[in-house]
A and B are shown apart, each in its own frame.
Chain A
Amino acid sequence: MIKSTIDIDFSKIDDILKSYNYEKSSLIAILQKVQELYKYLPEEAITYIGERMEGLSPATVYGVATFYAQFSLEPKGKYEIKVCDGTACHVRGSSGVLAAIKEKLNLEKGKFTTADGLFSLEIVSCLGACGLAPAIVVNGTVHPQMTPDAVSTIIDTLVSKERG
């Protein structure tokens, strides 16, 4: 795991745990709430949850966190780009879109967040927006019928917005 660079406010995690009554069956929902706070699951948070919840250990929580694709143990970028590679998107050229994004963001093999922390990339299996294939989602907004040029423009727009 990557060492976290942020301070964890454990009282906020306590609030989340309390709101779910420390219930074991709510572990996934709890992790989702914690991830909403930090945009990823810091190691300290995982350990803390494992220690505070009865019948669980940090290892069990870690096991659940690593099982589901939604959870990230690495910090996410300010702009989270999700590229759909479901069947419909795949046959309509999502691989080209993905390659264009990787090239544009200059992502090294095995890395999914840019060095400046601005963008992170995630490949998802289906967004259910198959009629709009190939589709990507940037911070919750669906962009339909993408092409390598179109994603390039989207990223350029975001970069220039950041640079003011």
Chain B
Amino acid sequence: MEKTCLNIDIKEEQKKAQEYIKNQGLRVLVCSGTGCMANGSAKVMEKFRELGANVSTLTQHDKMTIVPTGCHGFCEQGVLVIIPELHTTYVKVKVEDVEEIFNSHIVGGKPVERLLYTDPATGNKVARSEEINFYAKQTRTALANCGRIAAESLQESIAMRGYEALAKVLEENKPDDVITEIENSGLRGRGGGGFPTGRKWRSVSRYKGGKSYVICNGDEGDPGAFMDRSVMEGDPHKLLEGMAIAAFAIGSDEGYIYVRAEYPLAIHRLRVAIREAEENHYLGDNIFGTDFSFHIHIKEGAGAFVCGESSALIASIEGERGMPRPKNIHMAEKGLFNRPTLLNNVETFANVPLIILNGADWFSSMGTENSKGTKTFALTGEVNNTGLIEVPMNTTLREIVFDLGGGIRNGKKFKAVQIGGPSGGCLTEEHLDMPMDYENLKSVGAMVGSGGLVVMNEDTCIVEVARFFMNFTQHESCGKCTPCREGTKNMLAILTKIVEGKGTMEDLDTLEELAEVVKESSLCGLGKSAPNPVLSTLKYFRDEYIAHIRDKKCPAGVCTALKTYTINPEKCKGCSKCARNCPVGAIDGVIKSPFKIDQSKCIKCGACMNGCAFKAVELS
């Protein structure tokens, strides 16, 4: 490349963009992520707009601008409304509340107490998001702009230093140095595997010269994880910039983002972002006026978990069944359309611009020895604060569940955390103080995976959860290789037998043996990791399996087949309602004296219990 002088002064553009934000007057940020949209954020925005028209006559602000932002990650508290100038975050805002916020706070200067976040530990109201534990304990880098800027605005992205890193690498014009910087940062693949990103880039760059591709894996298939959705929806330009920097480094001019079809909003926002970036020469032909060109296409997935596997994803982009291919030929050499291909996950690319701007040292100062930087986790399940978090990689599970997550809901007891979804494992009380990095998690049979964290309490049956994940992977197994196709099916059959109370102790041995074989001999990551939930739950909760098999009991009281419904004779008034409700005629008795359930006929549907006015039907 000869032409290095850029025809866009990014610093100048930044100033203009910051000026543009300043001229917006009072900014009211309304979350427009998938979660808040479902809770009615469109109507909230409309109402604010309507009221905001009079803001100049009522307050000292000459203008009020409603900013539709991406996901804040605090979906359960949606709709979230943040007014930065007033240092206030409102939660669970409904359209009916907007007028009160406007009149009382924006006009009258008095915050609306009842719409502030309540700290689950202290019961105190908290106004500033910096003081909400859920946010205060995070280090947001990849997610820094999510929820802070208008998700569909290039200008707002520019104001937050968007495309500055790309300008920097183009100006310096040393692709190899870019790769070195990424290598030095210690960034590892955020999609699950944790492969060093810089090394991957280096190996693709060896095949420089001909056509090559940059692919972003946005097929976030792990049920329970949504960090990639948040980045694509909330800060699409950061992802595009990261891809462009990668393309420049390895000498590629074409890229694909493979997004799940279940994420229509992410697809829409990416399309808008690509178009706007191309119109302004941050993407497309002759980026920044240089001879570097990079075009990005969107490929919509069609609902197949296995397409998150790199070679299956490539097959899918090529229009075929998404089946993995053997990896004897590395895709750095022959990937998409048989050309050298670099494939990274959304979050990985989103970290790239920051590393370029702040330096490898900045990035590697966070985290642990071999796991640098931050990681986003999707915290869900039985915790008080569910949502998306980003923390340095040395954060412990305890900090995540009890500080950020605010502890277990309804005062229940912590039991386990499933990390990494159907490919991951479970972590128990003994792991609470372990830093959540790649090596530590691997050593206890789990994995960072996509970063899904599902918190389970004492009421969750661990065997049923293992069955749930096996059901998922069995269903999603593409069927190409025998160990995965047949192995998952048989493991599922055994797990189903156990939760139905028909398991034997020999089944546990067979289950373990099958798990080892599937793990060792499957073709791709799906099969190799499918037994993880089984193996790790067997390791930490073997007694629960045994309770199901030997005692025919589900300690958590979840597995229907192992439940027993009985009528407490002291509470029963003999009204006969349960006998009439019972679909199989298993209940009998004499009016005005206690009724009885015939256990041999009972199908455990619970109709008797739901209908009893005296709470006389008991479950054990």
Binding site for B on A (CB under 8 A): 23-29, 31-32, 63-64, 67-71, 85-92, 124-133, 135, 140-144
Contact = CB atoms under 8 A, between A and B. Distances in A.
B527 interface: no
B75 interface: yes
14 contacts: A25-B337, A32-B300, A68-B301, A70-B301, A87-B380, A88-B378, A89-B223, A92-B381, A126-B225, A128-B229, A129-B75, A130-B75, A142-B38, A144-B39
B317 interface: yes
Contact of B472 (A64, A91, A125, A142): A125
Given A131-B35, A144-B35, A70 B319 contact: no
B170 to A, nearest CB: 30
B353 interface: no
B303 A70 contact: yes
B303 A129 contact: no
A107 to B, nearest CB: 17
B74 A131 contact: yes
B487 interface: no
Nearest to A133: B380
A131 B380 contact: yes
Nearest to A53: B319
Interface of B: 34-35, 37-39, 74-76, 78, 220-226, 229, 261-264, 299-305, 316-323, 337, 378, 380-382, 386-387, 418, 421-422, 452, 454, 456, 460, 465, 468-469, 472, 476, 478
B303 A24 contact: no
Contacts of A140: 264
B321 A64 contact: yes
B262 A127 contact: yes
Nearest to B455: A91
Contacts of A64: 319-321
Contacts of B38: 129, 132, 135, 141-144
B386 A88 contact: yes
Nearest to A68: B302
Contacts, number: 140
A64 to B, nearest CB: 6
B316 A28 contact: yes
Contact of A69 (B34, B299, B304): B304
B371 to A, nearest CB: 24
B468 A25 contact: no
B76 A131 contact: yes
Q: Which 3 A-B pairs have the closest CB atoms?
A: A131-B75, A86-B223, A142-B38
Contacts of A143: 38
A87 B380 CA distance: 9
A129 B35 contact: yes
A31 B319 CA distance: 10
A29 B378 CA distance: 30
A124 B472 CA distance: 10
Nearest to B77: A131
Contacts of A31: 302
Contacts of B222: 87, 126
A126 B35 contact: no
Contacts of B303: 68-70, 124
Contacts of A27: 319-320
A71 B322 CA distance: 14
Nearest to A141: B38
Given A68-B302, A91-B460, A124 B37 contact: no
Given A126-B220, A129-B75, A144-B35, 11 more contacts: A25-B337, A28-B316, A88-B223, A88-B386, A91-B454, A128-B220, A128-B225, A128-B226, A128-B263, A130-B378, A140-B264
A91 B39 contact: no
B223 A126 contact: yes
A78 B386 CA distance: 33
Among B75, B421, B456, chain A packs the most CB atoms within 10 A around the CB of B75
Contacts of B299: 28-29
A112 to B, nearest CB: 15
B262 A126 contact: yes
A133 B226 CA distance: 13
Contacts of B223: 85-90, 125-126
Contacts of B262: 124, 126-128
A88 B224 contact: yes
Contacts of A86: 223-224
A86 B305 CA distance: 12
A32 B226 CA distance: 23
Contacts of A85: 223
Given A127-B34, A129-B35, A131-B380, A67 B387 contact: no
A126 B224 contact: yes
Contacts of B34: 127-129, 142
Given A87-B421, A126-B224, A140-B264, A68 B382 contact: no
A70 B261 contact: yes
Contacts of B465: 91
A126 B318 contact: no
A25 B224 contact: no
Contacts of A88: 223-224, 378, 380-381, 386, 454
A40 B409 CA distance: 42
Given A91-B381, A91-B382, A143-B38, A68 B304 contact: yes
B322 to A, nearest CB: 6
Nearest to A63: B321
A88 B388 CA distance: 13
Contact of B302 (A32, A90, A125): A32
A29 B256 CA distance: 14
